[in-house]
Amino acid sequence: MLPLPCEIITVLYPFAHLFSARVGEHALLLLVGAIVTPGQRTVSSAPRVMGLQDEPHFQNDHRVLNRARWSSRQLSKILLRLLVAACVAPDDPVIVGIDETIERRRGAKIAATGIYRDPVRSSKEFFVKVSGLRWLSLQLLVPIPWAGRIWGLPFLTVLAPSERYHAERGQRHTTIAEWGRQMIGQLRHWLPDRRLVVVAASTYAALALLAYCRGLVTPVTLITRLRLDAALYDPAPPRAPGTMGRPRLKGQRQPTLAQRVLSPETVWQPLTVRWYGGVERAIEMATGTAVWYHGGEPLVPLRWVLIRDPRGRFDPQALLCTALDLAAQQIVEWFVLRWQLEVTLHEVRTHLGVETQRPWADLAIVRTTPALFALFSLVTLFAHDLLHGAPLPTRQAAWDPKAAPTFVETLAFVRQQLGSATISSTSPANADMALIPRAFLQRLTDAAGFAA
């Protein structure tokens, strides 16, 4: 095992009590191996890059994922609290994004697979179906000092099985909105006293979910898209004394947001907001409050925000917020942060090997992919502590100037620190020459030679 820098040991220490001594040793091997391994993140690639290819009991590494007793949920809880403590000021709201992604997998032994629309390869004109596993990811949206931008840091990833999976087992199918409700409830349980803001796609604009967020003892603010044809009403008028019958739930029907877009009576306010990519952009905005109601569903008060581009570069769109007193500009700027979820989903595929792992046991499947998502956040925490407030070195080239480092530089920096710890442990102090152990050099050469 590589000697670890003390900063990395400090980050990992809160997780230690969740594993037995034997399982913890193999789990640490898989963690470090997943960081330093290029290419595929299979279980067998971790001991190989660590120089343990001749270990006869290699099956113990597989058993960490498919048999050992430890709780992924408890690991997520600890990771979230570490991220909040390191990146969010005590008085600031905790902003979280939720989104789903498809891990392309196929095979008769992978029971939870389904056929879904591929969001990466599909477009408005071209529909692509893919076989895979559907994952829901909660990510903390926080500014990273050395990156100069907001990053999405995954801390809780949940498998949402297909409808066929539940039908074959005689179970009621759980929708995406229902999974989101459970995850938001878990988040509120973990952070009972913090102000929580959740930004989400239109999939989560479900009345049951919105009512749940508003009805919590400490409500969660949910921001998402709103249909332009949603049935919005005024609040119910005060009930007159002596009135018989069931109290009214809603007042007079308001114009739909689609009608407001076309109406000359709509008052549009020019506004400059922080847009996608962190740039400033001029938009026009109209806002108001209403009650969203549909027969058989809960009644939800909300603030709606209409957005249009004065230059006509995108179609008018609407947002909703369950906090009625929140400013429209803040609603828009928080919702725009949701794009960072897509960036993180791309990074974990490109640099952390998501979709290259090959477990087929049910328990291993529900552990491996969330672990690789969480590795993105762990690497960020490692770099945060290793830098001690200093800027992160950025790899520059004449043809590729970079204004700020990306996750590639962050991962490379952590890898370099892991290698430096080994070299420092064998080299004399204040020496111009570094003594590299032959076995370590051989592993580096082997990893570079076989890198995909």
Please state the domain extents for the chain.
Answer: 220-237+248-322
CB 174 within 8 A of CB 208: no
User: Can you list the residues of the chain whose pLDDT is less than 70?
Assistant: 1-2, 421-436, 438-452
pLDDT of 221: 97
Q: What is the DSSP letter of 226?
A: -
d(CA 14, CA 373): 19
d(CA 142, CA 435): 40
CB 182 within 8 A of CB 208: no
* Strand-pair partners of 139: 97, 154
- Exposed, middle or buried: residue 303 (CB in 10 Å: 0-12, 13-18, 19+)? buried
With CA atoms as reference, report the closest residue to 417 among 377, 379, 450. 379
- Angle subtended at Cα 451 by Cα 343 and Cα 350, rounded to the nearest 5 degrees: 10
Asked whether the CA dihedral 347, 350, 351, 355 is positive or negative, the reply is positive
User: Which residue has tokens 């580096």?
Assistant: 444
d(CA 76, CA 374): 8
With CA atoms as reference, report the closest residue to 371 among 50, 35, 49. 35
Please tell me the chain's helix, strand, coil percentages from 3-state DSSP, rounded to the nearest 5: 40, 20, 40
With CA atoms as reference, report the closest residue to 198 among 153, 156, 138, 151. 138
CB 337 within 8 A of CB 150: yes
What's the Cα-to-Cα distance from 276 to each of 64, 332, 343, 390, 401, rounded to whole Å? Answer: 40, 11, 12, 27, 21
Q: Which two tokens stand for residue 324?
A: 């009625």
Q: How do 250-253 and 269-274 pair as beta strands?
A: unpaired
Q: Which two tokens stand for residue 245?
A: 């019958």
pLDDT of 214: 95
d(CA 81, CA 388): 20
pLDDT of 354: 92
pLDDT of 38: 83
d(CA 115, CA 125): 19
d(CA 63, CA 57): 11
**Dihedral angle over CA of 216, 221, 225, 227, nearest 10:** 50
